[in-house]
Amino acid sequence: MRRYLLHLSYFGTRYRGFQKQNVSGKPTYDDPHTICGLLEIALKGCEPLNHPTIIPSSRTDKGVHALCNTVHVDLDGDPRKICSRSIHLHLNRFFTFNDHDIRILKVQQVPDQFHSRHQAYERQYLYRLAVPRAGALWRQRPLVPSPLTEHNRCCFLQESTFDSEAIKAACGIFVGVKDFGALCSKSREKLGRNVTTVRDIRSLELSPSAPFIPNRQLTEDYTFWQFSCIGKSFLYHQVRRMVSALVTYGQRRVDLADIQRLIDKPVQDSWTPVYQTLGACGLYLVDVLYHAEDLSYNEELTAEQRKVQALEEEAAQIMKQLSEFDGTVNDKINLKTRLIQIKNSLARFSC
């Protein structure tokens, strides 16, 4: 059994989120509607001896995208069919052939005790949004333009009021070790008694952005912005709610004191209908980071273990030959000499 870390990217629009839907009594069922389910289906094509259970670092919601998410999986089987390179090739071939918006970026073998979620020390998110200009031409048209290049890739606001400088100044309210209970869409009962709503947000910034593909009409009608958020871990809907609160403040529909109250009074009642949670389409998981030593898989040690195993097997065969020996004295001396050499080699390996 070997443990592998998979780095993958995907557009989440077509899928029901990352996590497989719970089906009572059927933990190994096929789920072609989620990222996790499709990964498991694809991995079965590698013919492992075990069911490939996916452990994700981040369970993104329906419609959320990932530039780089990570999972780990344990696989047992023929090493010629199950190795980093063959897994990488097979999965991308499967996703390409079946026209899925999922791609594997990297596959690497990791230590057996490695855990993709628990050992991630940082997660980076980005939220893209487009703000209509005050004199945008579409305001005089019967239909709002729907740019194909940004379809389900960016959140398009309908209100042109957007005080970017005020938002930048307010971002600091959410930075640091804070209780984000007001920004979690799950109640404390659903989270569980042992789950804390305190999180450490290391950075939250607003900066100008641009369309994926240069488009004159699009930039004439909209200004593009992106929120960058970095932390070790996040609550359910926390990033989208932080961004939503800041956008609401930038639209001058709430005061700075209202934003501060979300932290000072970390209960669900603090999240009022004036804050409308922005859509999932603008949210991207950018990266999941690990310490290099946690990922270090010592292949030399594995080769050494194989060498030791081979020497031990050879020694056992020689011992058996000596116990049943019926040859010349010189042959017996050669066997004993080889046995001494093996024991000396094993002694060096044990040092």
Please count the helices (runs of H) and the strands (runs of E) in the chain: 10, 10
How far apart, in Å, are the Cα atoms of 204 and each of 87, 195, 255, 288, 307? 36, 23, 19, 16, 51
Among 30, 31, 61, 326, the active-site one is: 61
Helix axes 35-44, 84-97, angle to 10 degrees: 120
Residue 220 carries which side chain, given as an amino acid letter? E
Provide the strand spans (E) within 133-192. 155-156, 176-179
Report the C-alpha gap between 187 and 189 in whole angstroms. 5
**What tokens does 14 get?**
């077509």
How far apart, in Å, are the Cα atoms of 231 and each of 124, 191, 209, 238, 286? 7, 19, 21, 11, 12
Strand 102-110 and strand 222-231: the pairing is: unpaired
Q: Other C-beta atoms within 10 Å of 223: how many?
A: 17
Q: Please say if 61 is a catalytic residue.
A: yes
SS3 194: coil
Determine contact, residues 178/199, Cβ cutoff 8 Å: yes
User: Annotated catalytic sites, by residue?
Assistant: 61
